[in-house]
Chain A
């Protein structure tokens, strides 16, 4: 699809000229994750700097199974030509977020470690510049206090030179994801890479809601694999899972949620119990960060079988719950549960979005959601699987 107002060739000419001037005869490292933003940023910088650019890949430990090796070999392919140095820092990242359960604290600790590692690598290579794939929504959401992205410093008044000893180059900071994909295609990036599914910089860290533990991370890794396999063919712009502990808020005020859900769904209240999770999740209400609760609606199996998916009615239930209860930012619906399993839930999320600034819930066929839930529950490591039915706003695409 052509996007008016953005011309990859003139963008590239202007941006490489700007980089040549800015870096002059200096050297730079590029932080690459294999995602489209950082890969395209590195390719733009390489056009300007040639061999004076060294791409590096940081294994944060929060990546998907096998990802560091796969990305390294894919980027080295002659069609892309980025020979990355792999830096293993998993233990260091895990240590840095130890004991943290609040989303923003986790994100800030991650950012700190990320730039410390980059600083050491830049120093080692004698580089005074770091190239990163920050795009417009990253700094907009960080500056607006919605969430701290790991790759934003200057826009919130942190000087990278005094804090970490290098200068930052962000060739894509005014672009959105769809424009970056266009630019990637213009740079002959193979389509599997230019169209690659987005993955957050802090990775599974922010999909492990609340405290991070090895048990939660392992369940998340195996569930991610199942979800990506089953939802991949649908071409939604984003789809993934998150893990949360089954600890619920006991508040008499929440009793009315069950009635609200029942009214919206046209069912008797006893058939629609609602649980409110204790761990907080990120949302955005009225252009402001809303770090609130996640409500999980359970619809009794026989009603579900008679009524099917109910996307319109669930949408109505979601909006009435969020509108009437300020502390609730997101709503999910239970797909399947296994009684007596470990007290962990997987929340499946799939959305359609053009630029990641707003998102609509993807109409995943109920049968597919059930398939996913059954595969996840079969592992025996989780007891519930939910589907998130919150658009952005009031949700965000990710959970933290």
Chain B
């Protein structure tokens, strides 16, 4: 059985991520970002999914504790990762990209245009409706990453590392109002499988 812990960073939808993965037959539960790598290995984790949260991550110097820990975990782990919303932004900031206040924030339904299907967006061209809730956004990719999707207001709706199975999405694939969100989890499972 595939084991994918969900790193809980205080977002409302974090618990829903675990529910979606459970529905796909994955052994998934919430873990705090302070969980040591050895414990994740002990659980037999095949990948990590990191959730969203209400924080702002424009600078690494002023991160709240749980995101300091999440940022450290991102740097240490070699596991495949899917990072959602605030942790997508945190991944950009952590690996040398840039997060800033969005020119226009997005709340509720947004049309996301797929530039490159790659692995996690397989079958989602040309576009799909996603539910969003963010004031900040990734404004510059970290080195070694490429953008996969965009929306009218936000250029980097999804990104991936060019070599590793490390992905970030600005929107929320875990909520039921992103009808094709489950495809993104399925694609992620296929990519790491």
Contact = CB atoms under 8 A, between A and B. Distances in A.
Interface of B: 10-13, 15-16, 19, 22-25, 52-54, 85-86, 104-109, 131, 133-136, 153, 172, 175-177
A141 interface: yes
Interface in A283-323: 284-288, 315, 319, 322-323
A367 B108 CA distance: 26
A256 to B, nearest CB: 15
A288 B104 CA distance: 17
A144 B104 CA distance: 24
Contact of A288 (B13, B23, B54, B153): B54
Contacts of A284: 12, 133
B15 A287 contact: no
Given A391-B108, A393-B108, A394-B107, A287 B52 contact: yes
A357 B16 contact: yes
Contact of B109 (A4, A145, A354, A360): A360
Contacts of A319: 107-108
Contacts of B107: 285-286, 319, 322-323, 391, 393-394
A3 B12 contact: no
B105 A144 contact: no
A288 B86 CA distance: 12
Contacts of A324: 104
A140 interface: yes
Among B10, B23, B176, which residue has the most Cβ atoms of chain A within 10 A? B176
Interface of A: 3-6, 136, 140-141, 143-146, 176, 284-288, 315, 319, 322-324, 353-355, 357-360, 390-394
Given A286-B54, A287-B86, A358-B131, A140 B109 contact: no
A147 to B, nearest CB: 11
Q: Which 10 residue pairs spanning A and B have beta carbons closest together?
A: A288-B54, A5-B22, A394-B107, A391-B108, A354-B176, A286-B135, A5-B23, A287-B54, A393-B133, A358-B175
Among A3, A354, A394, which residue has the most Cβ atoms of chain B within 10 A? A394
B133 A286 contact: yes
A323 B85 contact: no
Contacts of A145: 54
Contacts of A140: 12, 15
A143 B11 CA distance: 9
Contacts, number: 91
Contacts of A288: 54
Chain A interface helix/strand/loop/mixed: loop
A393 to B, nearest CB: 4
Contact of B12 (A5, A144, A360): A144
Contact of A3 (B23, B108, B136, B153): B23
B176 A358 contact: yes
Contacts of A390: 108
B131 A176 contact: no
Contacts of A392: 108
Nearest to B104: A323
A391 to B, nearest CB: 4
A144 B11 CA distance: 7
A354 B177 CA distance: 8
Given A3-B23, A358-B176, A285 B108 contact: no
A286 B105 contact: yes
A357 B14 CA distance: 11
Nearest to A360: B177
6 contacts: A136-B15, A286-B105, A323-B105, A359-B177, A391-B109, A393-B108
